[in-house]
Structure 1
Amino acid sequence: MTRDLPPLREVIAAHGLAADKRFGQHFLLDLNLTRKIARLCGDMSDATVFEVGPGPGGLTRALLEEGAGRVVAIEKDARFVAALAEIAAAFDNRLSVVEADALTVDETAIVSEGRRIVASNLPYNVGTALLIKWLEAEPVWWDRLVLMFQKEVAERVVAKVADKSYGRLAILTAARAKPRYAMSLPARAFTPPPKVDSAVVVLDPLPADQRFADIEALSLVTESAFGQRRKTLRKSLAQAAGRAGTSSEALLQATGIDPGARAETIAPQGFMDLARAWRAAKG
């Protein structure tokens, strides 16, 4: 029991709630697990915690229990609003619910000052897109991201060069943040259980002087390189180079990268160098 709130399964039954596949919903009802995730946020007493897709509020309760100064729940599915309102009432209205699409909402317009943390069991169908949105944000407005993904996606976020999971997502992450793989969760922990296991990743922003600024160029170059990852960079970068009015050979020569190399063998710094060369060529 949490502050006289009924168990989550009773809340789901009372409000006639069910996970909607269209929104990639899977509920995490084990409060021991949600507390562990909440604790990964660190000290939240002076922070606003943004939670995307709270559903019936399992993680929401844990964040409030663990001392979040304020939680802003961004929920696209209006069915959950009444259940979340009950949590808000039980926790002195430290919870605010915003009915919106997290892909388009402006978090800084909701909370303009103070420390801001994102903690979320991300809907599977938009998890990667949301991470990229937050990584691309300029200026970086968040102080920590605590995000649950499908395990395969989590492995892609933290992958190192030459790892099987290494690719565009790992490079975009490395350009802006320091990620760590925090914990795994089996499919059976969820209701309904998904077909794959999940994992939580914690990302802390790099200091301002270490962050790579030109995410647009980096995104374009990595998309081209890994879109044809079986090909050499001489071939896979041709499309991106053409958009800058140059050749892949010229970009690779400018950065000292072997034209015969493949994308998965190049460290994030190499792609940042390529992005700078691409921008210089585009003018």
Structure 2
Amino acid sequence: MLSPHSHQQVMVGRAVMKAKQAGRAALRLPPMTSTSDLVKLYNLQAVKKLSQNFLLDNKLSSKIVSSSCRVKRSHVCEVGPGPGNITRSILEQGAQHLTVIEKDPRFLPALDILREASQGRLDVNIGDVLTYNMEKLFPPELARPWEDPPPNIYLIGNLPFNIATPLIIRWLRDISLHQNAWVYGRVRMTLTFQLEVVQRMVAPPNHPQRCRLSVMCQNWCYVAHKFTIPGRAFVPKPDVDVGVAHFIPHQEPHIPLPFNLVEKVVRCIFSFRQKYCKRGVATLFPRAIQDDMVAKMFTVADVDPDIRSFQLTMPEISRLCHAYSAIVTQNPTIASYNSREQHIKAELNCDMDADGNEDEYRLR
């Protein structure tokens, strides 16, 4: 009796042979292995520490791809394909070329089966998407000026929960610098996150989920929550539901200042999310000049210091960032100061969740 892997290889060979005999470019992909076979073949339980959760529902995989807009005749990069269910949906919906980036080499056999059946339309790369450089991943003729409509390129991925937020922050930085995949223009993304994270990303001012992740995402991208996938649709089943988010980079950010400056100011503002925003702004300055600098910053920005950070609008946050930029231009030594760690640890006793800041991330 053939193993699932051998059975798939036989079916691939038959499909490719049939297409060649017919003299046409029909795509015949082998059937997806069953959930039980995947568990046996790839030992899914052993990678729980990597936060891997695979979507094996073909309809939901197709819905993720179709929510990206129209991938037909486009170039796509899929991050974290795992056993390849979303991969096959991308191919079936007519992508001209697909490149996948997978960190776990155990999935090479499943992905190679799809590659062999794809008639040259699929490339498989083993690598860590957190450090992967996509600047030469696509044909140079696909590049578009930033002010033009987005290029015919898409990034799609069912991301492991433990890298999802750090990855989007890195990519927002890349968007701000027009580097990595964004050397090609305003490349669109469709990615999965924990539902609560997506709700934070799209939260408007005054919304209880509004946080620094909301501001960072919305500053550089139009962000939409496309739909929700119940946790039971994944293998292994996570304890949370999953949100599918679509990102389109803005032609101009709401706050046209360097990423590091915006990130620093927004991070400090939301250090005390439920308290008056002047509390977080104060952590930008040494104690000796704190009161004077905070008063100056809010006066220049024309923002009420006694509203809470989650109530701030994008124009108000923009004015605060510009006010801080002007202050550090006049006083360069202030730029390197940040009392956040010592101040927050003392005030919150190292409990970063006390004010709802669960979207903590670190840039390395």
Using the size of structure 2 for normalisation, the TM-score is 0.72
How high is the sequence identity, in percent, across the aligned residues? Answer: 30
> Could you tell me which residue of structure 2 aligns to residue 3 of structure 1?
28
Confirm whether residue 16 of structure 1 aligns to residue 42 of structure 2. Answer: yes
Structure 2 match to 1:264: 310
Secondary structure at the aligned position of 1:201 is classed as strand
Which SS does the other structure have where 1:105 is aligned? coil
Q: Displacement, 1:47?
A: 3.0
Amino acid at match of 2:277: L
The 1:75/1:12 distance shift into structure 2, 3 A limit, reads: same
Determine helix, strand or coil for the equivalent of 1:237: helix
CA distance in 2, matches of 1:46, 1:136: 28
Q: Which one-letter code corresponds to 1:49 in the other structure?
A: V
Counting only pairs closer than 5 Å after superposition, residues 45-64 of structure 1 correspond to structure 2 as 45-64=72-91
Change over 3 Å in CA distance of 1:242–1:214 after alignment to 2: farther
Q: Can you list the C-alpha shifts for 1:217-272, whole angstroms capped at 9, x where unaligned?
A: 111111111122233222211122449x8722221111011111210110122212
SS in 1 for 2:70: coil
Q: Is the 8 A contact 1:143 1:205 kept in 2?
A: yes
Query: d(CA) in 1 for partners of 2:124 and 2:286?
Result: 46
1:107 is paired with a residue whose SS is coil
2:307 alignment partner AA: A
Distance 1:198 1:277, change over 3 A: same
> What is the alpha-carbon distance in structure 2 between the residues aligned to residue 102 and residue 254 of structure 1?
41
In 2: Cα distance, 1:258 partner to 1:215 partner: 24
Whether 1:110 aligns to 2:154 is no
**Displacement of 1:212 after TM fit?**
3.1
Give the counterpart of 1:280 among 326, 337, 344. 326
- Name stretches of at least 5 consecutive residues in structure 1 with no aligned partner: none
The residue identity in structure 1 corresponding to 2:165 is: T
Aligned partner of 1:96 in structure 2 is: 123
Contact 2:205 2:310 in 1 (8 A): yes
**Equivalent position SS for 1:111:** coil
Aligned residue for 1:74, secondary structure, equals strand
SS of corresponding position for 2:222: strand
User: Shift in Å at residue 9 of structure 1?
Assistant: 2.2
Q: Which amino acid aligns with 1:61?
A: R
CA deviation vs aligned residue, 1:91-141 (integer Å, no higher than 9, x gap): 113121221111111111333632321111111011111111111111161
Distance in 2 between residues matched to 1:9 and 1:101, nearest whole Å = 27
Q: Distance in 2 between matches of 1:150 and 1:8?
A: 26
CA distance in 1, matches of 2:75, 2:256: 26
Structure-1 residue corresponding to 2:14:
none
Match of 2:189 among 135, 145, 159: 145
2:148 paired with 1:122? no
Tell me, yes or no, if the aligned pair for 2:189 and 2:248 is still in contact at 8 Å.
yes
Q: Which amino acid is the alignment partner of residue 44 of structure 1?
A: V
- Specify the structure having the higher radius of gyration (Cα): 2
In structure 2, the residue matched to 1:131 is 168
Cα distance in 2, alignment partners of residues 210 and 260 from structure 1: 23
**Letter paired with 1:118:** L
Equivalent residues of 2:105, 2:126 under 8 A apart: yes
Q: Hey, which bits of structure 1, 4+ residues long, moved more than 6 A?
A: none
- Find the residue that maps to 2:34 and give its secondary structure: helix
Q: Distance in 2 between matches of 1:62 and 1:80?
A: 17
Query: How far apart are the structure 2 equivalents of 1:13 and 1:259?
Result: 55
CA distance in structure 1 between the aligned counterparts of 2:285 and 2:97, rounded to whole angstroms: 46
Shifted more, 119-128 versus 264-273: the winner is 264-273
Q: Distance in 2 between matches of 1:7 and 1:207?
A: 40
- Which ranges in structure 2 are unaligned for 5 or more consecutive residues? 1-10, 12-26, 143-151, 330-364
TM-score (norm 1): 0.92
Provide the C-alpha distance between the structure 1 equivalents of 2:253 and 2:216, rounded to a whole number of angstroms.
16
